[in-house]
Chain A
Amino acid sequence: MATVAADLETPSFLTSENTLSSWLLTRDHKRIALLFFASITVFFFVGGFAATLIRLHLAMPIGFLQPSIYNRMFTMHGVVMVWFFLIPSIPATLGNFLLPLMIGAHDLAFPRLNLASWYVFNLSGLVLLYALIMGGVDTGWTFYTPFSTLYSNGYVLAAAMAVFINGFSTIMTALNFVVTTHRLRAPGMTWYRLPLFVWAIYSTSIVMLLATPVLAMTVLILAVDHVLGVGLFDPGRGGDPLLYQHLFWFYSHPAVYIMILPAMGVVSELVTCYARKTVFGYTGMTLALMAIAVISFFVWGHHMFTAGISIYSAVVFSLMTFFVAVPSAIKVFNWTVTLHKGSISFDAPMIYALGFVLLFTVGGLTGLIVATLALDVHLQDTYFIIAHFHYIMVGGTVSAFFGGLHYWWPKITGRFYPEMWARFAAILTFTGFNLTFFPQFILGYLGMPRRYYAYPPEWQPWNVLSSAGASILAVAYVLPLGYLGWSLIWGRRAGPNPWHATGLEWQVSSPPPQYNFARTPTVTIGPYAYNTEDGSYTAQDGTVHA
């Protein structure tokens, strides 16, 4: 092993090799993370473009888009944002980059599988782009039957195939993460010494592995029914349209937890570091992550309370949904109380993290409102639901993603971003977001259904407020593109541990060397060993820092 150790004293992973093929054929999890980052950024702006058109159109009771174009816009927005941005966002970028570093490994268990996952992801993106360019799909991201199988004139098959292929990428990445966490932890890195981000990625990956295959089968038989017209979901031929909904939501409800669990992991890292304090209730936090992952499989029926399911199964699903909120609530309280007797600074990542806690709380509480059966009868398929899930997915996940991006930016690139611009963008995000989506709660209770390209004039004021907020949010999301790009060339250089954080990833250079560690570290202590009283901290490899 001596020869291997000498090879490990290499230059940073960014500069070690510079050819195109050294990037496109890389096995380095850090480079693959950046490849994924490039792909999801493209898709974020594709989905964002659709959202821009939607909010511009909805600023007027009857907007400028043809109905069939509007319907294709909200479908594209949903499909792109769910499968091509939110689901891969934190896992495939931050997860890929940080998991081996955080556990003290030189790479993931299956590096070639990791690269293959990126290529499969892009292939699925190409298939989707084909569907979009050829004319798009208008079924909504949920592809409900029999509209999608018998009545839609959109490119349902291509969109379904894009989702099918995308699922392979998800499964490949999740498999890699689960196996890596089980097998490649450094000596001394027991399960209960893992950073919460690792626990979050692990629990997310379990959900991905168990839920995505069901989606794969669902879109496959959807495609068979659509192309061959065999009547699987056609009531006129003995099929059951509701069966499709059960199958779809059996995956898609866990999918929303796939989108939020990694974000929760990021927030735990940020809050502890910027409050200089260990997390309140570490064990509770790990159990909460796993509990959310498990219970998430038992609540799918809450998307179907008005669909015609049995009243008694609806009651059970509602109860389970209340239960799944419990571990989430535990996490919110624990993050908040972590701040108690901390030493808090308000760097941009912390602003994103605190924003996450508030916005996620609103999203979660409104989730309980719609989990309440009688209220869901009124609110289902209205803008209340749209506001609810955007508070979680955008107010929650996207905020956490940006927070993590800023936090680990010095580690990944070796450069600092300009702090004042970043704080401004974070505050602008929070403001623009609330202005965009809070009015939608009001519109929902007023009775405005979703997926409506036109609405009565008395609802216009709230829609205008929402669109105004969206324009602010757009600026807040574009700003980082500018200053993060700027920082790559002109940003102040960063040392190994600019935030004085305790994780193993901060004990190597910024950017990290190609194989992460010259020698596999030995872990002697759990995460977040910050001492608030004298400002010192103990890194996970046991070294004490003043």
Chain B
Amino acid sequence: MPSRTLHPEIQYRTLDQQGETAQLGMWVFIATETLFFGALLFVYFLYRRAYPAAFAQAGKDAVLWCGTVNLVLLLTSSLTMVLSINAAADGRRRAIAAWLVATALLGFVFLGVKGYEYYADYADQVVPAVNFMIKAGEAPVGELFWVFYFVATGLHAVHLSIGLGLILYMLRRVRRGDLSPAYYAPLEVVGLYWGFVDTVWLFLYPAIYLVGR
């Protein structure tokens, strides 16, 4: 199917200007998200500094293999996302879709692993307000570690799910022929967002899984 001829919206002179502006918009949005997650990480590190032993103890129960597998999944998905954008620059429509599907699959597997991990956490009785139990030799204040764990990974999962939605939406646009080598800014914008989702995990991973190890 040939690409549809796209016109820039009324406020733009050229498609290029529209595309550049969309990307700037996503960068600005990522800046706000940096402050959002940054505030959470700041509070986490503050309490970790106040109770280093308790946090290290609590962190031992974090399921390291789940976190690490998820790290690998997300890093790979960033690669596939970049490959999808590369394909768009060349106009290889099947490749764009294929790499997008790969990215989405990796994202879904991430959620699956995360879901399993939450189940394991529940079995371990570390879910605050639900079934949190202080283990022998652990300080009660260690529960704060788990509060951060669930808030941080929960928020991350929400952002990742939104990313999956955006990827599926991109797939639809690719199928409709909306992208061409002359204009594939929407894909780049989604790629930027996905990169941000990946970067957040790069910060959460050491904070959650490597504390005290």
Contact = CB atoms under 8 A, between A and B. Distances in A.
In the complex, A touching B (Cβ < 8 A): yes
B51 A238 contact: yes
A217 B129 contact: no
A394 interface: no
Interface of chain A, helix or strand or loop or mixed?
Answer: helix
Interface stretch (B71-79, B140-148, B180-188): B140-148
B40 interface: yes
A217 B11 contact: no
A392 interface: no
B36 A106 contact: no
Interface in A198-247: 209-214, 216-218, 220-221, 224, 228-232, 237-240, 243, 247
Which of A4, A176, A179 lies at the interface centre, i.e. has the most chain B CB atoms within 10 A of its CB?
Answer: A179
Contact of B141 (A109, A183, A224, A238): A238
Interface residues of B, number: 35
B3 interface: no
Interface string B49-70: 0110010000000000000000
A280 interface: no
Nearest to A239: B144
Interface residues of A, number: 43
A503 interface: no
Interface string B1-28: 0000000011111000100110011001
A105 B32 contact: no
Interface in A491-533: 515, 520
Given A175-B32, A221-B40, A238 B129 contact: no
Contacts, number: 101
A210 B31 contact: yes
Contact of A230 (B10, B11, B128): B128
A175 B39 contact: no
Nearest to B35: A213
B36 A213 contact: yes
Contact of B25 (A109, A111, A213, A239): A109
B93 to A, nearest CB: 26
A37 interface: no
Nearest to A178: B28
B151 interface: yes
Given A239-B144, A243-B43, A100 B11 contact: yes
A229 B29 CA distance: 32
Contact of B143 (A218, A231, A243, A247): A231
A213 B144 contact: no
Contacts of A211: 35
A466 B140 CA distance: 51
Nearest to B51: A238
Contacts of A238: 47, 50-51, 54, 140-141, 144
A359 interface: no
Interface of A: 1, 4, 100, 105-111, 171, 175-176, 178-179, 182-184, 209-214, 216-218, 220-221, 224, 228-232, 237-240, 243, 247, 515, 520
11 contacts: A1-B13, A171-B29, A209-B28, A210-B35, A213-B35, A213-B39, A214-B39, A228-B128, A230-B143, A238-B51, A238-B140
Given A210-B32, A216-B36, A217-B40, 5 more contacts: A107-B10, A109-B21, A175-B32, A213-B33, A238-B140
